[in-house]
Structure 1
Amino acid sequence: MQRTSTVIAGALALLATTFAHAEDTYQPKAEPVTDSVYAIIGPTDARTYDNHGMNANYGVIATDEGVILIDSGPGAFSGPHIERAVAEVSDEPIRWVVNIGVQDHRWLGNDYFQDKGAEIIAFEKTVDSQKEYTGQHMEGRLPDALKERFEGTEPAYADRVLEGDAATITLGGTEIELSLTDAHFPGDAMAYLPESDVAFTGDLVYVDRMLGVHPWSNPKNGLEAFERLEEIDPKHVVPGHGRVSDMERARRDSGDYYDFLVNTVGEAARNFETMDDVMDANEDLEAFKHLEHYDSWHRTNMNRTFILFEGM
């Protein structure tokens, strides 16, 4: 009897641990932006096993002819999570996946949705950049974080390739205006829905957390693209990371920072000032210290921007 009780107690403890782990694991949810437009808001921390590498935002657009996804997630494991989130807000199948991002957690889910019958759509430059970074993405931080959850993920590219740097596509009466930004990654883009007045900015805009400048990023392109976004002046901004916002918040957390990088750090580099002096003088910026990851990214961003403009 005592052995039976011990076994039952052990089983209950294991079950409780399993449920606790499930509750701690990220469960994507499509949050309403407007009546037919939703956003899946990922955590603002790093890619982890528990968040499935989904530390980014994705779009769900419901139309009478099917659902449009903005970006496909980081791989095969995240695909069913996205599907369940979509099923909560629409009975229609996922017809289109529009790739506006080149970073791994934005497009490595393409293969999963292609196998389900969705058409993948992207700019030619986006596809070329995805192909260029495929090796890095398939062997980098994402598989390290996801471990066995990365198994089954295969790179797959657009079925419909859009030429140029701007295009308009329509499904079920929903029009999407696409344009390249080339900011975080070459080939990154943003999507604007005129009827809903919603912009999915991809990694052009970060809210709540500091944007990152990689060796391949271009803050000059970022500032120019952000100025185009300001001309559109959408009511709703779904950033690449962080909460759904308006243009005022997007300007505060990203636009002003692009302006600082280009017109303070970049201008100093063009004027042959020393990098150390520029970085030390601007290390403590109150306007951006509220952003998550400020301490780990700010000096790196200044360093990479200085080097970029130094070579112009």
Structure 2
Amino acid sequence: MVRISRWIVTGALAAMIAGAVAASEDIADQYPQSELYAKPVEFIPHVFTAIGATAPPTYENSGHNNNLSFVVTSEGVVVVNGGASARLAAALHDEIKAVTDLPVKLVINENGQGHAFLGNSYWADQGVDILAHEDAIHEVEENGHFILEGMKRYNRDKAEGTRTVAANLSFSDRYDYELGGVKFEILHLGPAHGPGDTQVWIPEWSMMIAGDIAFHERMPPLFADTCSKCWVETFEEKFIPLAPTYVIPGHGHPTNLAVVTRGTVDYLKDLREKIGAHIEEGGDLGGAYYVDQSPWEHLDTFEELATKNAGRVFEEMEWE
């Protein structure tokens, strides 16, 4: 069983957090020799992540705007996220092969969004099992074609070879998996960012590959079906009690629990408080778009998301 030296990890964590200044939506591509936006880094021993752009998906970043992670064990590799295209998945596989000769044994989709599952077609062609939450699979089956067409519009020739493939393995609340002496708890802690949000917890290492339940460098997007109240409850009642020492969020640099709590729960609570006050004062939807979110304007994608988020929280809280 692999054990991790705490002083080595602490140094890696400090270096990673210090490097967070390089995470900017203004940087089009950090790794031009690859389809990947950035070269994978070893966050803690045996756990690697290719940190995606904090900008929306573009041709320049090849749709790599989320974190693509992998864990190397003595018997094989577990990958978290299929990637936004078959070519992007292949590029990640090339990086895995540069680290180890061991095969990829399992790919986990963190949700039903394109950058989590569109690369499944590549992994399926390699004969690799793919796991996703049942709600994420439903999202792929219902909307996968439209998500794929959207990717083709921005990715053009880089979409070559990509087709919609749903995971062949599913779970509802928890899926236990062991490989090379490393125990993985694949969890759906509850409703949060989107359908089928999935977290990958490695208790022995106090390591959480959190997916989109956790944000800190970019603004958390709220979709039409996102329940912001549920997200806060899931995070506070299920995620925080696990007390991970190390967190790889869905987007942005790996960090710790305190940082993602501020970037996720503190943001959602602040927005809900301001929208709630706006409603109490008789405010309407039009006015809700302009509640003060200036404390969060340092977050990437603020311009794209702040007003949309406010409108969606207003529509949710109107009926609470």
TM-score tier (shorter): 0.7 to 0.9
Q: 2:62 aligned with 1:52, yes or no? A: yes
**Deviation at 1:277?**
4.6
| SS of residue matched to 2:122 | helix
- Paired AA for residue 115 in structure 1: D
The equivalent of 1:13 in structure 2 is none
Q: 1:214 aligns with which of 217, 223, 246?
A: 223
- Paired AA for residue 285 in structure 1: S
Q: 2:260 aligned with 1:250, yes or no? A: yes
The equivalent of 2:106 in structure 1 is 96
Pick the structure with greater CA Rg: 1
Gaps of 5+ in 2: 1-30
Percent of residue pairs bearing the same amino acid type = 27
The equivalent of 1:191 in structure 2 is 200
In 2: Cα distance, 1:85 partner to 1:277 partner: 48
In 2: Cα distance, 1:25 partner to 1:93 partner: 21
Q: 1:310 aligns with which of 291, 313, 318?
A: 318
The equivalent of 2:247 in structure 1 is 237
**Deviation at 1:200?**
1.2
The equivalent of 2:147 in structure 1 is 137
| SS of residue matched to 1:224 | helix
Q: 2:184 aligned with 1:176, yes or no? A: yes
Scaled by the length of structure 2, the TM-score of the pair is 0.83
Q: 2:174 aligns with which of 143, 166, 191?
A: 166
Superposition RMSD on alpha carbons, in Å? 2.2
Does structure 1 retain, via aligned residues, the 8 Å contact 2:54–2:301? no
Q: 2:263 aligned with 1:260, yes or no? A: no
| SS of residue matched to 1:241 | coil
The equivalent of 1:63 in structure 2 is 73
Does structure 1 retain, via aligned residues, the 8 Å contact 2:86–2:161? yes
**Deviation at 1:50?**
2.6
User: CA offsets per residue over residues 172-193 of structure 1, 9 Å max, x none?
Assistant: 2222222224322211211111
How many corresponding residue pairs?
288
Gaps of 5+ in 1: 1-20
Does structure 2 retain, via aligned residues, the 8 Å contact 1:275–1:306? yes
Scaled by the length of structure 1, the TM-score of the pair is 0.85
- Paired AA for residue 97 in structure 1: V
**Deviation at 1:56?**
0.6
User: CA offsets per residue over residues 183-220 of structure 1, 9 Å max, x none?
Assistant: 22211211111112111111122221111112122222
User: CA offsets per residue over residues 105-156 of structure 1, 9 Å max, x none?
Assistant: 111111111111211112222211222221320222x211110211211111
Q: 2:217 aligned with 1:203, yes or no? A: no
